[in-house]
Structure 1
């Protein structure tokens, strides 16, 4: 039930007071006429911080990243017309990765809606493909209920909820109540007979293999124990790589273009793949004959992009232990020895890539050296690009937290995600990693990091190209028009915004540069001039294989 109140409030004041009760710490946004009254009220209080961004896409990406990090609802705002339009790309990241984001946008006055006046657009129609809920506020007294519906939708469904507030609504009185946060989401649990049926199928498999995804975030120990009892290899999607100790004897790394040869080889020989909390299934790398048992917290994920032999739905932190209790303890020294031999061979391959000699620094070497310097509890906000594949291939996680644009895979994610991470966790080291192509999409908000005195480090992998696309064009024999990009002097650009910066051109300069950046208490960039080797298995992927590679 809503909490009754008797104080006099307008819509802007009600929004701030309600968000405070929902434990919202900040709102990301860009100023505009449609939200001036909201910004006025935000400036008159200190409980919720307004983060003044330079670009609406970045504001939305910050909200998406915060929601991914905390599992709570994050908030962003923008004005009407161009403001909400530029938000859309960042909101799409939250939509595809199921991050709970509340969007509050200004709208033209009610008498101008639908007239084609300046900045008039049907916001509900505009945002419809991305939003689980969107409504226009036509009366101030309905605002509390609409806000409550939006919040509950964003949290329960995991995604974007939106309210359009006409400029003449902000200052009108509200008689409605405040609403409490909903109870923690609960998941249905499978029956014991279902657990028994699935465990029997796993027991009958001779060479099972595990694919773990981001769904094991809160069931990491349980997933490892499951693999250890079966004595089978465990491979991961990119977002899940930090969840399994990368030096664990049964860990065989990622899967797909940037994954390990071990995972490909062992999956080809497997007679069963147990999928734990993953919705990613790169068909180009998966044998069609392998049977699949999928275990997930969401019913809608079962069989989403693959046929499954059997499945279980429920809280993985409870389902996996129940399943582990039912499966037989296995001793398969030949299988374990095979895994170790494959890993030894793979490690030799990786070391050769790290030690590659070239005029510029190999990307493999960059990520090997980064692993020596970065804090174990650091947050790594990683942009989309060729560097992302090298990171997955080379970097060995020791407890770091990874932020990526998992399914939308937008350029420009890394820097705004890092800003949100540093604001959310001010005591932790935050490292953003971006390519020279992707960073150009969000570099303007480097000055936002400087303004709020955020000691983030932005590493720019510069190979003078959109090289993920370039490499595919080369392999397919396509004309490379549009793939080569002239870059600004990123170090000079960073310094013009008040940040520190240095360029690294030789491999021996990497570790000192990283250490100087990490020890600085200022916003810092490290631009690394890299070579551009083509990853093995590079090709133009088709349909869902491309979309889901990092899911």
Structure 2
């Protein structure tokens, strides 16, 4: 049988190191699926993971890229299958990870005829993709694959390749050595990117002059943990973490203040409000109100993406470079600070904060305090566990109550902050590292939106994993909780039952119906043993916890505007007003009354 263009396509992806594709079939991409099948028969294939929905395939590709550093790949048919990919691809774009999306398309001969499932996909994907092209002839495919993959990997972005049905099934022929054809090749090696010496010295002068140095790290600092610790020790600095950088440093170091922002910690907020010097490393943290006031601090920033430099704070020295390499070049230029008062004050604040978190987690609630769910989980996790979190109120407890250990990995949808990413991220992590324990923290809203269906994907594949332990922890409070609190605090409106109430579903029971393990908890005294049972299970587990929706996800600093909004929502007849005041949300009032402490 003559080699078809789709066969060459699979060979070329294999040559680029692709080992796994997440996707969903359809007639518009059947030629590529046939090539995958033929390649697998000869042992030269690529593993295909069948998901329940194309959006989940894109999230899995993004999750694969986040946890491995490799190119993530997803696939769909044309038309609606292709448009379903968009949300997951925007997640990859906004969190700066390399993903290749492969989609089908109507036949070239039918293009422009308003044919079934014919969409102008190059236009559809133009905003999300660093590179998007529709293949017009077999001879074009080679350089489109090579250029597209290289751009995605080099730019940490998204490439979309659109393959019409008839092109997939045409005979393959190498491009001839004549005018009008191009001959591309595979391979890419990331360069060593380090700023000029004079710029490093300018940065060192600012850091050496600082008395109160604060460091903020993001996902771009991953791989530079040792250098960041050395910087903190030399400068007597504290280190805060943007949410995507949560796993860059362990939380057991006394100078690590934890997360920053609305989901962040009080020590991180206090450090930023008091510092005189700021060093940002590999972060695009968006909320500038949690950074020093303009003019308060002198700033240095390091980022591999020059488009992110100077974007969030007026920076005196912008260093375009790889985080680890740049820090290694910068360290010899720094002067060791003998005065440790600043760092010691930070350490005291961190110690007090962990005590505060414990008190909040163990506070009574009806029936289970959601903070306690993560607080009990944290010390039980293996040192190499991988944790994913969905957006929503569970992300608050992930950000604060999960005390990350060195060697653990953790992530969530950062820039897009999209519901529905936790379970597909966890599945991708499990395929990449089948020997590790993986935990997904998910709100009941996200479970109902799209994650319940992916439990079927778990059921389909789990027996092929060397270690079957994957835990989906569902916070069941029958409330779209994060938005409820935003309605109260940001808008000053009472909880709107028509938008916020969601059905009570037996998530543990649904897991049992699939042949997975389900555990239901509505007693806080059962939490620790439930986590132990889940971590010892011989198959994936859905751990469903009935949590209290009226435990407030308090920001690290409550503004007068937020407090007024909260009080206004209560005054307007929020049905939970009395209980909210009695529980942890009363701290909102304490924050603004003289002589009170939270």
TM-score by length of 1: 0.93
| Structure 2 residue aligned with 1:45 | 39
Q: CA deviation at 1:179?
A: 6.1
Which has the bigger relative contact order, CA under 8 A and spacing at least 6?
Answer: 1
Map 1:420-459; keep pairs closer than 5 Å.
420-440=428-448, 441-453=450-462, 455=468, 456-459=470-473
Q: CA deviation at 1:8?
A: 4.7
Map 1:155-166; keep pairs closer than 5 Å.
155-166=153-164
Q: Deviations over 1:424-456 (max 9, x none)?
A: 111111111111111222221211111112532
Q: Are 2:242 and 2:260, in contact at CA under 8 Å, matched by a contact in 1?
A: yes
Deviates more, 1:282-291 or 1:56-65: 282-291
Give the SS at the match of 1:9.
coil
Q: CA deviation at 1:180?
A: 5.1
| Structure 2 residue aligned with 1:508 | 525
| Structure 1 residue aligned with 2:80 | 82
| Structure 2 residue aligned with 1:548 | none
Map 1:468-479; keep pairs closer than 5 Å.
468-475=482-489, 476-479=491-494
Q: Are 1:22 and 1:180, in contact at CA under 8 Å, matched by a contact in 2?
A: no
* Residue number among 373, 396, 420 corresponding to 1:389 in the alignment: 396
2:552 paired with 1:534 = yes
* Residue number among 324, 330, 334 corresponding to 1:323 in the alignment: 330
- Over the aligned positions, Cα root-mean-square deviation in angstroms equals 1.9
| Structure 2 residue aligned with 1:546 | none
Question: Partners in 2 of 1:291 and 1:360 — Cα distance?
Answer: 48
Question: Partners in 2 of 1:293 and 1:344 — Cα distance?
Answer: 28
Q: Deviations over 1:368-405 (max 9, x none)?
A: 11012211101112111111111111111113101211
Q: Are 2:137 and 2:167, in contact at CA under 8 Å, matched by a contact in 1?
A: yes
Q: Are 1:459 and 1:527, in contact at CA under 8 Å, matched by a contact in 2?
A: yes
In the superposition, relative to structure 1, how do residues 372 and 249 fare at CA in structure 2: closer, same or farther (>3 Å)? closer
Q: Deviations over 1:132-186 (max 9, x none)?
A: 1111111122211211121111112111111111111111112227965423211
Question: Which consecutive unaligned segments of at least 5 residues does structure 1 have?
Answer: 1-6, 542-551
In the superposition, relative to structure 1, how do residues 319 and 114 fare at CA in structure 2: closer, same or farther (>3 Å)? same
Q: Are 2:443 and 2:475, in contact at CA under 8 Å, matched by a contact in 1?
A: yes
2:460 paired with 1:462 = no
Give the SS at the match of 2:532.
helix
| Structure 2 residue aligned with 1:105 | 103
* Residue number among 238, 261, 269 corresponding to 1:233 in the alignment: 238
Question: Partners in 2 of 1:100 and 1:392 — Cα distance?
Answer: 25
2:18 paired with 1:24 = yes
Q: CA deviation at 1:187?
A: 4.2
Give the SS at the match of 1:242.
coil
Q: CA deviation at 1:37?
A: 2.2
Q: Are 2:102 and 2:160, in contact at CA under 8 Å, matched by a contact in 1?
A: yes
Deviates more, 1:264-273 or 1:75-84: 264-273
* Residue number among 290, 300, 306 corresponding to 2:307 in the alignment: 300
Q: Are 1:382 and 1:404, in contact at CA under 8 Å, matched by a contact in 2?
A: yes
Question: Partners in 2 of 1:510 and 1:483 — Cα distance?
Answer: 26
Q: CA deviation at 1:337?
A: 2.9
| Structure 2 residue aligned with 1:403 | 411
| Structure 2 residue aligned with 1:224 | 229
Q: Are 1:207 and 1:232, in contact at CA under 8 Å, matched by a contact in 2?
A: yes
Map 1:58-73; keep pairs closer than 5 Å.
58-73=56-71
Question: Partners in 2 of 1:467 and 1:315 — Cα distance?
Answer: 38
TM-score by length of 2: 0.86
Question: Partners in 2 of 1:155 and 1:370 — Cα distance?
Answer: 35
| Structure 2 residue aligned with 1:544 | none
* Residue number among 143, 146, 150 corresponding to 2:144 in the alignment: 146
* Residue number among 425, 429, 432 corresponding to 1:417 in the alignment: 425
Give the SS at the match of 1:262.
helix
Question: Which consecutive unaligned segments of at least 5 residues does structure 2 have?
Answer: 176-182, 563-598
Question: Partners in 1 of 2:146 and 2:344 — Cα distance?
Answer: 56
Deviates more, 1:214-223 or 1:234-243: 234-243
Q: Deviations over 1:205-237 (max 9, x none)?
A: 111111111111011100100100111111111
Give the SS at the match of 2:258.
strand
2:316 paired with 1:309 = yes
Deviates more, 1:55-64 or 1:322-331: 322-331
* Residue number among 247, 251, 254 corresponding to 1:249 in the alignment: 254
Q: Are 1:380 and 1:403, in contact at CA under 8 Å, matched by a contact in 2?
A: yes
